Amino acid sequence: MAAASARDKPAARPAASLEPDAGAGGAAGAADRHGRRVRAIFSEIAGRYDLFNALASFGIYRRWLAAVARACACSPTDRVLDVAGGTGDVAFELCRACPPGSIELTDFTPAMLDVARERQAAGAARGVPVSYATVDAHDLPYEDGAFTLVTCAYGLRNFSRRTRAMAEAHRVLAPGGRYVVLEFATPPNPVWRALYRVYLNVAIPLIGGAVTGDRAGFAYLRDSIKRFPPQERIAQELREAGFAQVTYKNLTGGIVAVYTAVRGA
Ligand SMILES: C[S@@+](CC[C@H](N)C(=O)[O-])C[C@H]1O[C@@H](n2cnc3c(N)ncnc32)[C@H](O)[C@@H]1O
């Protein structure tokens, strides 16, 4: 059930093609292949993604979501775009904790959005108008300045062109709009970091394989976490994308970090 009224819909640009350019070579070809692989993995695991999240994080992901909502601090005047929104965890947490005026919940994997629609049908949106769109984070089909808040949880590390996705988030934000990102991070304490690496190497493919049957997909997810740059580098990329007031907060000893950034006037 998609429940947005026309009044709540942000201005849209013609949608960019979501079809990969199969003939492209070089960097563009590699990006397309990466995108196809990522979409195939999330299509495969969509139905069990939420269960995996709960098990693999021992339920701590709920606290991380609450921290995202605190960083967003939405009000009914906010028009929110959730990029790589998946099954709707961030969107529905905002509906619960600080209801915005509207949410455009987007992802480039339709199967993930299907799960979100089921959750909305079960009441997760609590009356907040939530609309859905299959959208690639690298090419947002919205007018400049269409939103007051853009969120992105566990999306950045899956993007083939992370800085392009940041620039797109910046473009669709109105002046003064906020970009809130949740992503796996690098724990600063070496002992905690080493323990966490062991957990990643062993537990993620094991739990993911057991829950979804797709062990290879979870090996990819584990590797994407291990390859993701440390917090300072991401903060620097956000500044280079044009954002101001870039800050981040480590959670659970830096296993994840919540970044906040503001589009200047
Ligand atoms: C780990 S899930 C996170 C989902 C959700 N944000 C959450 O907090 O649970 C990553 C999501 O990113 C989406 N994704 C990956 N690359 C994307 C892209 N280029 N454009 C849009 N979505 C993308 C995947 O389809 C998947 O749903």
Q: Is 81 in the pocket of ligand 1 (CB under 6 A)?
A: no
Instruction: For a ligand 1 pocket test, name from 107, 157, 224 the mutation site with the most ligand atoms within 8 angstroms of its C-beta.
Output: 107
Q: Given this model, what pLDDT does residue 17 score?
A: 28
Tokens of 177: 């709009």
User: Which domains does the chain carry?
Assistant: 26-263 (3.40.50.150)
Using the structure block, give the residue that is written with the tokens 């992503």: 183
Q: Given this model, what pLDDT does residue 217 score?
A: 78
Tokens of 131: 């609309």
Atom of ligand 1 nearest to the CA of 39: 25
Give 157's strand partners: none
Q: Is 78 in the pocket of ligand 1 (CB under 6 A)?
A: no
Instruction: For a ligand 1 pocket test, name from 17, 34, 38 the mutation site with the most ligand atoms within 8 angstroms of its C-beta.
Output: 38
Tokens of 218: 């979870």
**d(CA 126, ligand 1 centre) in Å:** 23
Q: How many Cβ atoms sit within 10 Å of the Cβ of residue 2? A: 14
Q: Is 208 in the pocket of ligand 1 (CB under 6 A)?
A: no
Tokens of 94: 């905002």
Helices (H), the chain: 26-45, 49-56, 61-72, 89-97, 110-121, 162-172, 190-212, 215-227, 231-240
Q: Given this model, what pLDDT does residue 130 score?
A: 98
SS3 state at 187: coil
Tokens of 58: 């021992």
| Number of Cα atoms under 13 Å in the Cβ half of residue 81 | 31
Number of H helices, E strands in the chain: 9, 7
Q: Is 217 in the pocket of ligand 1 (CB under 6 A)?
A: no
**d(CA 75, ligand 1 centre) in Å:** 25
Q: Which backbone phi and psi does 189 adopt, to 5 degrees?
A: -80, 125
Q: Is 120 in the pocket of ligand 1 (CB under 6 A)?
A: no
Q: Is 147 in the pocket of ligand 1 (CB under 6 A)?
A: no
CB 189 within 8 A of CB 254: yes
SS3 state at 227: helix
Q: How many Cβ atoms sit within 10 Å of the Cβ of residue 89? A: 24
Q: Given this model, what pLDDT does residue 39 score?
A: 94
Instruction: For a ligand 1 pocket test, name from 109, 184, 223, 251 the mutation site with the most ligand atoms within 8 angstroms of its C-beta.
Output: 109
Tokens of 229: 């740059």
Q: Is 159 in the pocket of ligand 1 (CB under 6 A)?
A: yes
Per-residue pLDDT of the chain (265 residues; tens, 9 = 90+): 333 333 334 444 433 322 223 333 577 888 889 999 999 989 988 988 888 888 888 889 999 999 999 999 999 999 999 999 999 999 999 999 999 999 999 999 999 999 999 999 999 999 999 999 999 999 999 999 999 999 999 999 999 999 999 999 999 999 999 999 999 999 999 999 999 999 888 888 888 888 878 778 788 888 889 999 999 999 999 999 999 999 999 999 999 999 999 999 8
| Number of Cα atoms under 13 Å in the Cβ half of residue 164 | 11
